[in-house]
Each structure stands twice: as C-alpha cells, then as structure tokens.
Structure 1
Amino acid sequence: MADPSSPPLVVPSLPWRFSTRTTDIDLASAQGAETYYPLRMGVLGRAQRFMMSIDAMQLGAVLVGDCRFDADISMDFEELRDFYHVNIPLSGHLISTNLGNEVIATPQHAVVFGPTGSVRLNHWDAGSRILCVKIGRVALEAELERLLQRPVRTPINLAPALDLSGGYGRILRDLACLLARQVAAETPLARQEIIGVPLWHNMLSHLLAAGEHDYRDELLGPGRPCRPPAVKRVVEAMHAAPETPFTAASLADLAGVSIRTLQAAFRTYVNMAPMAYLRNVRLERVHAELAASPPTRTTVTEVAHRWGFTHLGRFAAAYGRKYGVPPSETLWS
C-alpha cells in the first residue's frame, strides 16, 4: 500500500464521461487527482481490501461523480482555488473540515467547500455512496452576477452545510442524480445542447438558491415588474428560435433585467413564467412537426428530444393537456 503522504500520480486528461474501478490505492489517488484536485488519500484502520468506484460526467462547468469506496478512507486537498465543490451523500456519511468548520454530511445534509482554505475529508465511511460535484468558480460567480444583474464580491461565501431535505436543496440533489445516471446511458440526453446547457445552469442556480450566503436574500427577494418591451423581446426570441438552449438567466440577459424581475413581468403581462411560456412554444413546434412527419421516418421520442423534452411521461402529459390527444395520435393521424 502506498504512503499516503506521497504526491499524487499524473494520469491522462479526463474524458467527458467515464467509469473506473480499481483496487490499487495509487491508481485511485491518481484518478481522484485527475478528476478533481491534487490530493493525498489514505485508508483508515486495518482494512482487508480496498476498492474505489467512480462514474462521472462533465457537463459544461459542472462535473458530477458517483463515488464509492469499500474501505474507510481519508483525503487531504490544498485550496480548490478555481472551483466550488459539493458532496451529496446518497447513503452513509462523510466527516470533513474546511476553514475550521467540521461538517457531517448525510443524505439529509450536503457539505459545501469554497475555493479558499485546505480541505480534509476526515472519514469517508466505507460503503457510502456520495455524489461529488465539482463546479467551475468562474461559472458559479458569473451565474450569481447574471441572476442579480450586478457585480458581486468574490469568492461567494457559501455556508459549509446545505439542507437536502426539501426546497432548492432537494432539487439540486435530484439534478445531480439525473446527471449521474447519464453516465451509463447509451445516448446521454445531456449531451444535446438544448438539454445539457439548461441542466448545468439549473444546478448552479439551485445551489445559489439553496445555500446560505451574503446574496441569498437579495437573490430570492421579489423583483420589480419590467416594462412590456422587455417581455416582448424575450417572447420574440423564443418564437424565433425555440430550439435555443435558453435558461432563465439567458432570457433575463436578453431582457436586460434580473430573473426575478422578468418572472414578475411575465406573471403580469403573460400570466405564466418565462420557462412555462417557452415550453408551450416548444410544444407547438412538436405538434407541427409530428403532424407533418411520415410516421415511418420519425418517432415521438426523437421529436420530443429535438425540442428539449427529456422526461417523456411529463412531455406526453403536457401535450395531452394542450391538444387533447397523445402525441402518437398526432404522428399517426
């Protein structure tokens, strides 16, 4: 077994998605360092065997790894510098320390690290399954500025513990699980820009909404209604190119207002949220394409995915509410 104080090995560049299994702690340290950050890994106690399992996907500024060890381990990292990090246990627990804060992460509470201060994973319990989420610092800080429509002081001082039991934290957990499941998919939906871009942006915005920090009250506070021309710009853009991977942030940028302000304006002038309006526009395009397509040359699934619908059950329900028939009936009529 390698000396845990020895420097990590160097391995080739990380692919956009990968799975790895190893019983060699040197290779485990090397893969951990390549996937995440320079680290020192050690086995706690007198474990009879060691195995590391990682299934990971990089999507935009976010990397999610589904990580497991079959021995109790510890890890030490230097400052993350260019990244923020969230560990989301799906089972088991993890005890870690950063900036003097010790946090016990469980399926009800994640632990969050900022880009400053060394990180120690004091005890990763054997058998624990943890989603390790690595987030580009530039992207998260830019997302906050887009949401607030003004510059912010960086780094963002995120609280070290994050509640996963409900609200924004539960949604963040679900988004991380969705991305982790894409690793094994033969044709990952997240690879499609219209799906992948909103997915990783949503992970950033839900982290900012779920975590405690200096800007959270402002971020979640009510916005001032904007004038109709801003709404008109957004509506026209949606109709002109609904296949564009719009996010709430990019629509607010287009309108020149904050997300909260745009949402308030849409409620006032359109009577629905911006993303709900976009979903309706995309449903119209799906309907038109299904009605015009030979059923022997396309499928409902292909058309739905092309217009950004990832969950076929929810898509079919929304289509049925709007048109009164299932999408397959439109295709075969």
Structure 2
Amino acid sequence: MENEKLMDVLIIGAGPIGINCALEAKKNNLSYLIIEKGPIVNSLYNYPSNMKFFSTSEKLELDDIPFISKEAKPSKQEALEYYRRIAVSNDLNIKLFETVIAVDKVNNFKVTTDRGSYKTKNIVVATGFYDIPNKMDVKGEDLSKVTHYYNDAHLYAFQKVAIVGASNSAVDAALEIYRKGGEVSMIIRGEAIGDRVKYWVKPDIENRIKEGSIKAYYNSEIKEISKDKIVINEEGKDISIPNDFVVALTGYRPNFTFLKAMGIKLVGKKQIPSYNEDSMETNVKGIFLAGVICGGEETHKWFIENSRIHAKQILETLSKRSKVTF
C-alpha cells in the first residue's frame, strides 16, 4: 500500500542513532518515520547475551536522557531496556519488521518496502553494519556447525570449538566457552591478540593462552572445514584439528550494494561512503548517513558515543532547509 503523505525525513534503521535522529526531528517539528527490518535496536538485540559495553552508560545516552546501569559498563539487557523506553516514552513513529527494498528519486524520494511505499523529502541511512558478516571463503563454511554470530556459551559446553578472530567479540566468546567447559582453539590471522581488545579482558585471555587452557594458533587461517575437523595453515604448515563447532567472528560490513543502488559513491579500498562531514549529506542530495555506516569497512571508527552528534548535524541542516522560502 502506498502512503501518499509526503514526510520531511524517513530514517532507515531503529538503532540508537536512528532513534536519536527521530528525537531531533521531533524537536525541529519535522515529520518523520523510522523503518526497521527487525525489532527495535535490532543489532543490539543480536549481540551476545552476556555482552557488556566498552563505554560507560553516560556515553551511550541520547538527548541527555539518563542511562542508569548497575555497573560502570552497562549490559546488553540494560541497553535494550534504555533505548526501548526512550522510543515508548517519546511515542516515536516506528515501523518494525519492515524491510526497505528500493529507493527511487522522482522529484522527492519514494521508498519501497516489503509492506508498502512512502514518499519523503529526505532520507537518513542509519543501518549500521552487523547484518553482513565477512566470509572466510573456504570449503565447508556453509556447514551447520559454522556460525558468524555468537550468542551464548551453553551451546558449546564440552565441545571442541574453533574461534576465528582476535577482536573483542572473539576474545569474549573464547573465554566464556572455555569457562563453560568447551575445548577452545583460537585461529588468529595476526601474531597477537588484537590491540583494541578491552583493557580489563586482554590480560585474562593472554594468561589463559599462556597457561595452555586455550590454544592459540597465530599467523594462521582456516583452509577447510569438515564435519569433524578443520584444516588450518599455520605459518605455511597445514594442521588438522578435531572440531565440533566453528565460531567465525571475522567482522561485519555495511550493505554496500544498498548504498550504491541509491547512487552513493564509495571511495577507496575501504569503501568509505562520500558525505559532507558538517551536514552528513552524501553526494546524493537529500540522502544522509548517520552512525557506523559512515566508516565503510573501517567499522571500528564510529560507535554510539562518537556518532550521536550525527543526528543533530543532519536535523539542523534539514530544519534550516525547511524554513527557506522562495
């Protein structure tokens, strides 16, 4: 069904930054709608069940609304509750479990979803990057024992588990699975645990590796996965390891196909989207970016605490434009 009403801005993505854009739209008396393909704050919902944020709670706050947590580092569940309550208490205009299929420019924009279509003067893309994992491109990656997402350690108790990666998510998974009785091996492309691993966790994983509780294969990559083993290449030598599960936490990437389909230019090997750093407007007039999607493949550059400002930048720009008369 087509919605004939022309709105000021349509926001794609109901994560924290998308919600913040809606709050700013309300402040500026602009009509808006958020469309989200999953539940509210979909990416956070799919994070590991026991995850704690690197940031303290005040750095995750939106619009000066206090975020009170039990500990200095808030949990996933506390964040879900915080952002949900903001959406409810501010009566935000959100359509959940609705997927954007296409964006067309005819005078204004027409946004087509799997449930209908909408007309809007402007679009904010705040879709994050958590939906598309970086694949290893190896034989056996499509087996049911392989996942690119980690939720809870209980599934892996008493199992032989290979963790691929050495980032925060990989380290957290390795430690949790080890402490639930899993036999953990880490397959690490580099020569050490990642530099950006949380400072209070890094000594823990390094000590578990040093004492032999967790086996780390450095300068290594998986070559093949089969039902009961994996073959890795460690510094030029192939090694076969008995295996029940592979948790490949190799990172994620934005939906570059969607960005390019809208006409947004991607620059360089890291596919950085083209946008104005002051207004967050892309090379396509009327399409703006907000949040981690601005970093292309450099997904570590933007996160909630340093991209909250994007909402104010975008909506102040749109507010000024709406006041221009001819």
TM-score normalised by L of structure 1: 0.23
Structure number having the greater strand percentage: 2
Structure number having the greater helix percentage: 1
TM-score normalised by L of structure 2: 0.23
